[in-house]
Chain A
Amino acid sequence: MKSQVVIVGAGPAGVMAAFEAVKYGCHVTLIDESPRIGGQIYRQAANGIAKRTNIVQKEQDRKKILMAAFEQISDRIDFLPEATAYAAFPGPELHVTQHNHSFVFQPKVLILATGVSEYTVPFSGWTLPGVMFAGGVQALMKEYGVCAGKQALVAGAGPLSIAVGAQLVEANAKVQAIALLNPLSDMTAKPFSLWAGRQMIREGFTYLKKLKRSGVPTLNRWRVIRAHGKDCLKAVTLGKMIRNGQAVPNTEKTIQCDLLAVNYGFSSNSELARMFGIEVVFNPEFGGWIPQLDVFGGTTAKGVLIAGDCGGVLGGVAAAARGSIAGATAAKKFCGKAVDQTTLTAAFAELKRHQLFQKAVRKTLHIPFEVYELLDPETHICRCEGVSLERLQQSIDEGHHTINAIKRNTRAGMGRCGGRVCLRSVAALLNEKRKLTEIEPMTARPVARPVTLGSIANQSNCEGQG
């Protein structure tokens, strides 16, 4: 398995990067945790599950284009499905586990297209069965045709809630309401951005229309206060707030539901990038700790490029463009191939449109600190290790002022998720207490994802450099 180019993640960025690199004659290995390509956004139905078409035709078309691009190259690349990159070292050197094996790659160039994880503001009851990330709800529908609830409530910040709400309606769930921290109309603060993203806005209206026709109310500036239920979710209490996050008294209302889909934005899966020592900057609305890149996706680490939302959230269309750019850059800069400028020019134009558009989207993703202040003190912020808000605030008050120190002091971030879910909340608490804008992330070390001792022991080398 000699490869010049190794790409982690087979969403739009990874697949397009592979497509470009192969086009110029590079040998590519593409790896992904899923059995099939597409990533979260273009997730494919599992074998034997009926394919669903997206409500938005354009989105469906983009998925088809990506599948077709992969089909064109699939017999010329090594595709490792159900494989997880768990460690990275300067070189670049990448350790990947698949089934009961692990492999060491030392390619000329590594492209990280690892995408994002979801984020939610914690609230009392958020660990109850029936409370799910909106993207997780979507994944169940896309891959297995399973609708996770009969009576659903969707809550959070940003446009994903609208899409998931409409998709739940399409899957015959009764959607009680969409509760948004910030109204989507906040995007109008950036009129030029809206113009640049007019196509995406049009697609958004398709979802909104679907919701309106089904009588699903949109509650603007409402937040989840608590989820109720003993063994599983029974109801959710929402509360109204004003723009700066302050609660409006006596507005609490409780809605019956067996599914709460939440999404308060995304976090870049930057662990592998950070293992290379690539600098990151904290920007909650852009995806948490974002690796610093040049326009080609290049980083300060030798032979490492980053493509797609892992390098800051710009959405699926931009991810495909960033993938093309990284793929062509890998071919030109690291494999000495001549590349065609026209594809690159088109990709840069697409990327620019989305960079501009996302400035508007980010207006809807702002989470005022007051939202955290209203939480019950015993709310678990780190669900893996059971660390409460009260314990974290005590730790900060005792003078522990870095993510690493708080982690060691409270165990927040030491569990199974590796801190992907909770450390954003810890950063928010720290940020407020210390009025900082720069928050150092937790030190990234192997393993990036849980991996069995057996597969680590059972290792083979894939000598690279083609």
Chain B
Amino acid sequence: MLKKTADVLIIGAGAYGLSCAWWMTQEHNDIDIMVLDGGGFAHGASGRHGAGMRMQWGLEFNILLCQESIRFFEEAAERLDYPEGIDFKQEGYLLLAPNEQTMSNLRSAIKIQHKFGVPSELFTPEDCLKLVPSLNLEGLAGGSFCSKDASASAFKWLDALLKASRRNGAKIEFNTMVNRIERNGNDFIAHTNKGTSVTAGKILLCTDWAVPQLIEPLGITLPIVPFPKEILVTEACQPIIGPMLVDMERHIAINQVKNGNIVFTVTRERKREYSLKSTPGFLNYAAQNILELLPGIGNIQVLRSWCGTSGETPDMQAILGETDIPNLFVAVSAYKGFMTSPAVGRVVSRLILDEEKDNPLISPLHPKRFQTGKLVPEPLTNQAVTS
């Protein structure tokens, strides 16, 4: 049996896992970082989302994490030495409110956002129409807009992190599934499906919805359930939707990416299970809702659709921090993994390497909150239903 060692073993090569690997190897020359992933490149939730990033949130730490992250994304091509770029498109995010209740949520959120210098503004329906002329104003109370919000290619972001981390010396292996973690004195031994094992002083779990199955045998429970979501993408067409659009009632996020394809993330109730399967009713449901919102685009062709599963937590917020077992850490994103990965990578990697304990950016997201009951629900979560 092949035996390997690492100072820190990261399980999961998605946005969080790779970002942490990059930050650790970027800030330390003398550290052995290994990343193992059970699937191929970008197979998990980090490669299956709608690729938007916004700082328009209602909670301080979400605003700050995204603000820092978007600043990083702006310079990602240079900072990660990825010359082809990550298809970064910064034309803002328009959150659409169907009623006064949501408008008032947006209004209170904007007040908090302004404290941190987020250039967000409240929009009337007419303002929305000016920005997105193809929008149907029926049933629209208004919205909120921030020009700094953006989108980028999930694949290129992951590829940039992967290449830069490897250049920094991180060992990253795909198709190597960690089946079991065993405690061995102060160390951990991770056993893989290939019959190999890795001895590590510290472990960071970045496997999203699959975290519980690895830590429950160690006596730790975390309330994370898998929730599958489906997405469709159209052919490339002329730029018709500048900003990312989020319909807070229909639970649609729309992203016309840099090369013209329009990506529609349409959330609807589905069984809480791991699934990559398309469901029979999705395309019709999605198309009907999309055309209610954007009635003029019925002639655009759908090219593909896909499904991804991410982890849902009781407050729909990330879980970041050390577990009850010392040196065993978790970083579970709960839907904001891509957009927060630059900042979370920085903060979590410093936490793991004992440089920054109790950073207020992530302390509210500590796994302990499910024992203390201090949940931190985010008022601007765009989610169809919660379990």
Q: Do A and B bind each other?
A: yes
List residues of chain A with CB under 8 Å of any chain B CB: 87, 89, 93, 95, 102, 104, 275, 398-402, 404-406, 408-409, 411, 414-416, 418, 443, 445-447, 450-454, 456-457, 459
A152, chain B: closest CB distance, angstroms: 31
Contact of B291 among A87, A401, A405, A453 (CB under 8 A): A453
Decide yes or no whether B155 CB sits under 8 A from chain A. yes
A413 nearest in chain B by CB position: B304
B305 touches A447 (CB 8 A): yes
B280 nearest in chain A by CB position: A89
B299 touches A87 (CB 8 A): no
B283 touches A447 (CB 8 A): yes
B304 touches A457 (CB 8 A): no
A93 nearest in chain B by CB position: B280
B284 touches A447 (CB 8 A): no
What's the interface size class on B, roughly?
A: 35 or more
Given contacts A451-B301, A457-B288, contact A446 B42 (CB under 8 A): no
B159 touches A409 (CB 8 A): yes
Given contacts A399-B174, A409-B159, A446-B278, contact A452 B301 (CB under 8 A): yes
Interchain CA distance A70-B324 in the complex, whole Å:
72
Interchain CA distance A89-B203 in the complex, whole Å:
40
Please provide the chain B residues from 288 to 330 with a CB less than 8 Å away from any CB of chain A in the complex: 288, 290-291, 297-307
Contact of B299 among A104, A446, A452 (CB under 8 A): A452
Contact of A447 among B42, B304, B307 (CB under 8 A): B304
5 A-B pairs besides A418-B304, A445-B305 with CB distance below 8 A are: A399-B173, A399-B174, A402-B175, A404-B43, A453-B302
Interchain CA distance A401-B162 in the complex, whole Å:
15
A408 touches B47 (CB 8 A): yes
Given contacts A87-B283, A445-B278, contact A405 B42 (CB under 8 A): yes
A384, chain B: closest CB distance, angstroms: 9
* Residue of A89, A275, A443, A452 ringed by the most chain B CB atoms within 10 A: A452
Contact of A400 among B174, B278, B297 (CB under 8 A): B174
Decide yes or no whether B287 CB sits under 8 A from chain A. yes
Interchain CA distance A456-B298 in the complex, whole Å:
9
Decide yes or no whether B41 CB sits under 8 A from chain A. yes
**Which residues of B are found within 8 Å of A459, using beta-carbon distances?**
284
* Residue of A104, A275, A405, A411 ringed by the most chain B CB atoms within 10 A: A405
B40 touches A408 (CB 8 A): yes
* Residue of B41, B290, B304 ringed by the most chain A CB atoms within 10 A: B41
Q: Could you show 10 A-B contacts with beta carbons less than 8 Å apart?
A: A89-B280, A400-B40, A405-B40, A405-B43, A408-B43, A409-B42, A447-B305, A452-B302, A453-B287, A453-B302
**Which residues of A are found within 8 Å of B306, using beta-carbon distances?**
445
B137, chain A: closest CB distance, angstroms: 20
Interchain CA distance A104-B175 in the complex, whole Å:
38
Interchain CA distance A402-B43 in the complex, whole Å:
11
B228, chain A: closest CB distance, angstroms: 13
**Which residues of B are found within 8 Å of A401, using beta-carbon distances?**
40, 175
Interchain CA distance A93-B175 in the complex, whole Å:
33
B266, chain A: closest CB distance, angstroms: 12
A277 nearest in chain B by CB position: B277
B304 touches A454 (CB 8 A): no
Given contacts A95-B283, A456-B283, A457-B291, contact A447 B302 (CB under 8 A): yes
B87, chain A: closest CB distance, angstroms: 10
Interchain CA distance A411-B87 in the complex, whole Å:
13
Contact of B174 among A87, A405, A445, A454 (CB under 8 A): A405
Given contacts A404-B43, A445-B278, A459-B284, contact A450 B235 (CB under 8 A): yes
Interchain CA distance A128-B267 in the complex, whole Å:
41
**Which residues of B are found within 8 Å of A405, using beta-carbon distances?**
40-43, 174
B234 touches A414 (CB 8 A): no
B157, chain A: closest CB distance, angstroms: 12
**Which residues of B are found within 8 Å of A398, using beta-carbon distances?**
162-163
Interchain CA distance A416-B259 in the complex, whole Å:
13
**Which residues of B are found within 8 Å of A89, using beta-carbon distances?**
278-280
Interchain CA distance A79-B286 in the complex, whole Å:
29
**Which residues of A are found within 8 Å of B384, using beta-carbon distances?**
none
Given contacts A408-B155, A453-B297, A457-B284, contact A445 B304 (CB under 8 A): yes
A457 touches B298 (CB 8 A): yes
**Which residues of B are found within 8 Å of A453, using beta-carbon distances?**
234, 287, 290-291, 297-302
Interchain CA distance A320-B47 in the complex, whole Å:
43
A443 touches B175 (CB 8 A): no
Please provide the chain B residues from 234 to 253 with a CB less than 8 Å away from any CB of chain A in the complex: 234-235
Contact of B301 among A95, A102, A415, A450 (CB under 8 A): A450
**Which residues of A are found within 8 Å of B173, using beta-carbon distances?**
399
A105, chain B: closest CB distance, angstroms: 11
* Residue of B235, B286, B301 ringed by the most chain A CB atoms within 10 A: B301
Q: What are the interface flags for B169-196 relative to A under an 8 Å C-beta threshold, 1 for contact and 0 otherwise?
A: 0000111000000000000000000000
B357, chain A: closest CB distance, angstroms: 35
B380, chain A: closest CB distance, angstroms: 27
Please provide the chain B residues from 252 to 289 with a CB less than 8 Å away from any CB of chain A in the complex: 276, 278-280, 283-284, 286-288
Interchain CA distance A445-B280 in the complex, whole Å:
11
Interchain CA distance A459-B173 in the complex, whole Å:
45
B41, chain A: closest CB distance, angstroms: 4
A386, chain B: closest CB distance, angstroms: 10
* Residue of A404, A450, A453 ringed by the most chain B CB atoms within 10 A: A453
Interchain CA distance A408-B304 in the complex, whole Å:
13
B13, chain A: closest CB distance, angstroms: 11
B342, chain A: closest CB distance, angstroms: 20
B299 nearest in chain A by CB position: A452
Interchain CA distance A411-B261 in the complex, whole Å:
13
B153 nearest in chain A by CB position: A411
**Which residues of B are found within 8 Å of A414, using beta-carbon distances?**
303-304
Q: What are the interface flags for B199-221 relative to A under an 8 Å C-beta threshold, 1 for contact and 0 otherwise?
A: 00000000000000000000000
B327, chain A: closest CB distance, angstroms: 28
Interchain CA distance A431-B291 in the complex, whole Å:
43
B174 touches A447 (CB 8 A): no
A387, chain B: closest CB distance, angstroms: 12
A447 touches B303 (CB 8 A): yes
B42 touches A408 (CB 8 A): yes
**Which residues of B are found within 8 Å of A406, using beta-carbon distances?**
41
B284 touches A102 (CB 8 A): yes
Interchain CA distance A408-B235 in the complex, whole Å:
17
**Which residues of A are found within 8 Å of B284, using beta-carbon distances?**
102, 456-457, 459
B41 touches A409 (CB 8 A): yes
Interchain CA distance A416-B303 in the complex, whole Å:
6
B40 touches A446 (CB 8 A): no
**Which residues of B are found within 8 Å of A443, using beta-carbon distances?**
276
Q: Which 7 A-B pairs have the closest CB atoms?
A: A454-B298, A405-B40, A457-B287, A450-B301, A456-B287, A408-B42, A405-B41
**Which residues of A are found within 8 Å of B47, using beta-carbon distances?**
408
